[in-house]
Structure 1
Amino acid sequence: MTTLPGKPVSFWLDSTAKTTYPQMENVTVDVAIVGAGITGITAAYLLKKAGKKVALIEGQHIAASASGHTTAKVTSLHQLIYAELIDRHGEDKARLYGESNQAGVEFIASTVEQEGIDCDFQRNDTYSFAEDKNNLDKVQKEYDAAVKLGLPAEFVTDTTLPFDIAGAVKFNNQAQFHVRKYLLHLADLIPGDGSYVFENSRVKTAEEGTPCKVFTDNATLLANDVLLTTHLPIMDQGLFFAKTYPQRSYIIGAKINSAKAPEGMYIGVGNNYYSIRTTPTEGKDLLLMIGGGSHKVGEKSETEESYQELERYAHSHFEIDKIDYRWSSQDYESFDQLPFIGKLTPANDRIYVATGYSLWGMSKGTMAGMILSDLVQGIANPWVDLYDSLRATPFVTKESMKNNLDVGMHWVGDRLKGLTSWSTDDVKPGEGKLINYKGETVGVYKDETGKVTAVNATCPHLGCIVNWNSAEKSWDCPCHGGRFTCEGKIIQSPATKDLEVKTLS
């Protein structure tokens, strides 16, 4: 079994206390918000300030899922996006995209100041860089597009990275922070005066009505409006699982002497790119975070390789002694590069969604919370049409056709996995494997002590067969990104049920 470097936990979670909010109760509020990441917490904070009674409902712990596993770059520079947006959507829409994301950056900055939030917030420059001349034209094109749109862009060839680059587009006066310190502070402002924060409350579904109803296994909550901010909506009516696709990426953290650490935030361009930033830790050293290894969820079983490659890159490019942390993150990429923010379906007037942030959830998630708050209050918002969840979507693009073909192939072809009879003796300690058990595809995990856990390998979302993720010790659905622990417990939606535990006799 491969030994991986670092503590297997997000630094953001490891450096903050575990939250202990109660489970959902039978209460009545103005707005129910399902999913307590950056979008849900931002919307709840704004609506509570506006005088609404809100209930923020989280299936696990607040700010501990996608928002707790990000690199937490607060920026409107999203690697290479603006040139593509101009080509695909035109200058006006590309300009709105830049304005709205920059507004997300400034909202976080002003909220930190107004609320006095201690979250290591600092203004910083950010860079999309080409290490060699092969990708320099992409960087130049992005710079030209950003300048045309009035964004704070420069083209540079010198940075504080400890290696040479061919060139970079730089956005000035962006920001970085400790995402969980920020979100926990905002969440603490919500309870009271008829508002609530609920944890460990897995919402199964919601029904629109007068009022709307939100259901868990043990309670029913009533609300005038419902916001689904669960990364990918837990309700399938809007078909957002077919308008996006799930991506996983990997992050390592290593302490580095502050005198030897790069200043600013970075992301490479081209194939096999890396994301780089630092953050304060206890003591004088900074934590250098390096991300990369992106792949579609469930498409890669031997995920240890992603961490090992990040470790090699870190040691070859930076003066570090060892890897202190490792964790992975997940996001949903939109086929037209724009998030979906608005109504769940044309028939819904009171259930709203936000999804498809395409790996840049800090500015987009914040901006989405701002839009949702305005929609509920009937306030005109300048960006609502750009991100309209009901807009015509590009089902017929190269990316969407390939993705949805892949989903169909997984749904059919993965049923052949594990059909060769296996014994649990063939599963090594620390390994998960699909086996045939009495004609059924079963996921079997054997821990280091030899204890075996078996689950039905069919994802309860839409029936795809899960795959084993070796580095994370999880069962991941390759169709729509649902993830489950080795014991079958939900880690990540859109599934709302655990994998069925099986008894092997």
Structure 2
Amino acid sequence: MTSNHKLPDKIEPFWRENLEIPTFPKLENDLEVDVVIVGGGITGLTAAYILLNEGLSVAILEANKLVNGTTGHTTAKITAQHDLIYDEFIQHFGKSKARLYYEANIEALNFIKQTVEEHQIQCDFKVQDAYLYSTTDEYAQKIKTEGEAYEKLGIDGGIVESIPFDFEVKNAIVMKDQAQFHPVKYLAQLTQIITEKGGLIFEDTVAVNVETGEKPTVLTRDGNRVTGGFVLSCSHFPFYEGLGMYSARMYADRSYVIAVKAKEKYPEGMYLSVDKPSRSLRSASYKEEELMIIGGEGHKTGQETDTLGEYTALENFSEQNFEVEEIVNRWSAQDLTTLDKIPYIGELTVDQSNILVATGFRKWGMTNSTVAALIFRDIILKRKNKYRDLYSPSRFYADPSLKKFLLMNADVVKHLIKGKLEMPQKNVDEIANGEGAVISINGHRKGVYKDEEGKVYIVDTTCTHVGCEVSWNCGEKSWDCPCHGSRFSYTGEVLEGPAEKPLQQYDFTLLDNFTSEDSGY
């Protein structure tokens, strides 16, 4: 099916549009506070807010701009319904741990709701029922099994036979009284409260390492030092792994979103298909109009050649099922998944108990980030927290962790070798304006991008993390690593970790003596 509506050229979530988001200076000096927080997304900001309320001093170091990473690219569902997980968790961890996971995320939802009410935050917070739906017999049975898990765990919800859309579904399962909101409006207000309470925030400040000890010190790229009783790693991928082996215990994948203006009024509720490819739906207010946020598709980072096709698939889905007037925005998000699908929240390693980490939210960061902030508070203040063991980064379950660990790292080795053996298929003359590709220059792999004016940017294609070969992402105009999910701009700058250093850049003069014959074709 050919769409009648053009995808926007700009890749930008609408959450940040038409909002005055506070800006903050770069760190220019050394500091000492009670708690150093690295990362200015929902995890870091929520943790800062909570710790300031407890009378602690905090400093937030953000490498880019606040709320501009995964938090700013979310679909912003606040729910404990994290796909088909509760039957799986019962099978792998037992009923009590599965129930704890549910309770932790409901507690996080209620924390957000109470914070919104206490400070009268205008962030389009709205209680909504959350639905998982199936379109095939295979997944209809999985929905029924999940319904049995809901009953065992006492979850408020159950099986329903239909949802209020025109497309056919086999069945669905509802979780009652969940919520949605505008994440940037929420966090912009939280940021104001943080600064009013004396919290320090620094943007464009890249944390690169930690000097461990009784009072750990965060080292920045520019040479400044921030010391605290605790360091909280709230960046998407941990900026400091220590001996935690996080890059070997998580994988990165990308998913895609479009914001659609349609003629139909959107019904109540938030929806997610359990079949593949997935489809996520929710409403949002935008310029006094209603939009549909439609998400889905997805693949491991760096392992899909036609990323623009992921947007086209969502576009076609919207055209087939709704009377679309306009596609307003498009964007994508990167998410990290742990070996057992439960995030890593707590002490970085057993021996580094004053460095805390939160990562691996598996697309469900609105609640799990808040869970993390609450666990951080209790660790720092030496309080009991019943969720601490469940989320502990040092846990390792033989089933399913061992199998996943072996499969994930075998996949890394496969892509490491494959990237070294693959021969580039294009030369410079064949690359159109606005396109990128891997080429061979004097027998060496190089990444080339031509902007819309024909200016050429050349980078080395070897990822600076462990040396895998990056591939071109045409949908995002970036270089993506298939091994651990690092991403780089077309100029080579780091967009996503675990890589810390940019790709090596080359001047255009590298091509002066390059001809098509040099490529070996």
TM-score (norm 1): 0.95
Q: C-alpha deviations, 1:164-208, integer Å up to 9, x for none?
A: 322111011100000111112112222356531111111111121
Which residue of structure 2 aligns with residue 90 of structure 1? Answer: 94
Q: Which is further off, 85-94 or 216-225?
A: 216-225
* Secondary structure of residue in 2 paired with 1:128: strand
Are 2:14 and 1:11 equivalent residues in the alignment? yes
- The partner residue of 1:357 within 354, 358, 361 is 361
Q: CA deviation at 1:161?
A: 2.0
Q: Is the 8 A contact 1:4 1:304 kept in 2?
A: no
| Alignment-mate amino acid for residue 109 of structure 2 | V
- The partner residue of 1:142 within 129, 139, 146 is 146
Which residue of structure 2 aligns with residue 415 of structure 1? Answer: 420
- Summarize the Cα distance change of 1:121–1:262 in structure 2 as closer, same or farther, 3 Å threshold: same
Q: Is the 8 A contact 1:36 1:58 kept in 2?
A: yes
Which residue of structure 1 aligns with residue 515 of structure 2? Answer: none
Which residue of structure 2 aligns with residue 242 of structure 1? Answer: 248
Are 2:280 and 1:275 equivalent residues in the alignment? yes
How far, CA to CA, are the matches of 1:149 and 1:297 in structure 2?
Answer: 34
Write out aligned runs for 1:320-339 (5 A).
Answer: 320-339=324-343
- The partner residue of 1:43 within 24, 43, 47 is 47
| Alignment-mate amino acid for residue 235 of structure 1 | Y
| Alignment-mate amino acid for residue 283 of structure 2 | T
Q: Is the 8 A contact 1:27 1:220 kept in 2?
A: yes
| Alignment-mate amino acid for residue 10 of structure 1 | P
Where do 5+ consecutive residues of structure 1 fail to align?
none
Q: CA deviation at 1:217?
A: 2.1
Write out aligned runs for 1:34-183 (5 A).
Answer: 34-183=38-187
Q: Is the 8 A contact 1:29 1:195 kept in 2?
A: no
How far, CA to CA, are the matches of 1:129 and 1:419 in structure 2?
Answer: 42
| Alignment-mate amino acid for residue 359 of structure 1 | K
- Summarize the Cα distance change of 1:190–1:143 in structure 2 as closer, same or farther, 3 Å threshold: same
Q: CA deviation at 1:452?
A: 0.4
Q: Is the 8 A contact 1:476 1:484 kept in 2?
A: yes
| Alignment-mate amino acid for residue 9 of structure 1 | E
How far, CA to CA, are the matches of 2:65 and 2:152 in structure 1?
Answer: 42
Q: Is the 8 A contact 1:53 1:193 kept in 2?
A: no
How far, CA to CA, are the matches of 1:26 and 1:386 in structure 2?
Answer: 36
Write out aligned runs for 1:360-379 (5 A).
Answer: 360-379=364-383
| Alignment-mate amino acid for residue 23 of structure 1 | K
Q: C-alpha deviations, 1:230-262, integer Å up to 9, x for none?
A: 1221223211111111010000011134x5212
Are 2:434 and 1:430 equivalent residues in the alignment? yes
Q: CA deviation at 1:439?
A: 4.1
How far, CA to CA, are the matches of 2:88 and 2:23 in structure 1?
Answer: 44
Q: Is the 8 A contact 1:243 1:393 kept in 2?
A: no
Q: Which is further off, 259-268 or 169-178?
A: 259-268
| Alignment-mate amino acid for residue 252 of structure 1 | I
* Secondary structure of residue in 2 paired with 1:349: strand
Q: CA deviation at 1:11?
A: 1.3
How far, CA to CA, are the matches of 1:72 and 1:115 in structure 2?
Answer: 20
How far, CA to CA, are the matches of 2:145 and 2:182 in structure 1?
Answer: 32
Where do 5+ consecutive residues of structure 2 fail to align?
513-521
Which residue of structure 1 aligns with residue 516 of structure 2? Answer: none
Q: Is the 8 A contact 1:346 1:390 kept in 2?
A: yes
* Secondary structure of residue in 2 paired with 1:405: helix
* Secondary structure of residue in 1 paired with 2:33: strand
CA RMSD after TM alignment: 1.8
Q: C-alpha deviations, 1:244-289, integer Å up to 9, x for none?
A: 11010000011134x5212210000122120000111113x31101
| Alignment-mate amino acid for residue 69 of structure 2 | S
How far, CA to CA, are the matches of 2:501 and 2:267 in structure 1?
Answer: 44
> Identity over aligned residues, as a percent?
39
Q: Is the 8 A contact 1:44 1:190 kept in 2?
A: yes
Q: C-alpha deviations, 1:351-373, integer Å up to 9, x for none?
A: 11111111111111111111112
Q: Which is further off, 387-396 or 151-160?
A: 387-396
Write out aligned runs for 1:342-491 (5 A).
Answer: 342-394=346-398, 397-418=402-423, 423-491=427-495
How far, CA to CA, are the matches of 1:189 and 1:396 in structure 2?
Answer: 40
How far, CA to CA, are the matches of 2:440 and 2:351 in structure 1?
Answer: 43
| Alignment-mate amino acid for residue 26 of structure 2 | Q
How far, CA to CA, are the matches of 1:162 and 1:19 in structure 2?
Answer: 42
* Secondary structure of residue in 2 paired with 1:246: strand
| Alignment-mate amino acid for residue 407 of structure 2 | K
Q: CA deviation at 1:396?
A: 5.6
Q: CA deviation at 1:16?
A: 2.5
- Summarize the Cα distance change of 1:439–1:174 in structure 2 as closer, same or farther, 3 Å threshold: same
Q: Which runs of 4+ in 1 moved over 3 A?
A: 393-400, 417-420
How far, CA to CA, are the matches of 2:110 and 2:74 in structure 1?
Answer: 19
Q: Is the 8 A contact 1:419 1:439 kept in 2?
A: no
How far, CA to CA, are the matches of 1:17 and 1:404 in structure 2?
Answer: 43
Which residue of structure 2 aligns with residue 290 of structure 1? Answer: 294
- Summarize the Cα distance change of 1:393–1:482 in structure 2 as closer, same or farther, 3 Å threshold: farther
TM-score (norm 2): 0.92
Q: CA deviation at 1:103?
A: 0.8
Which residue of structure 1 aligns with residue 201 of structure 2? Answer: 197
Q: Which is further off, 434-443 or 39-48?
A: 434-443
Q: Is the 8 A contact 1:19 1:61 kept in 2?
A: no
* Secondary structure of residue in 1 paired with 2:391: coil
| Alignment-mate amino acid for residue 23 of structure 2 | T
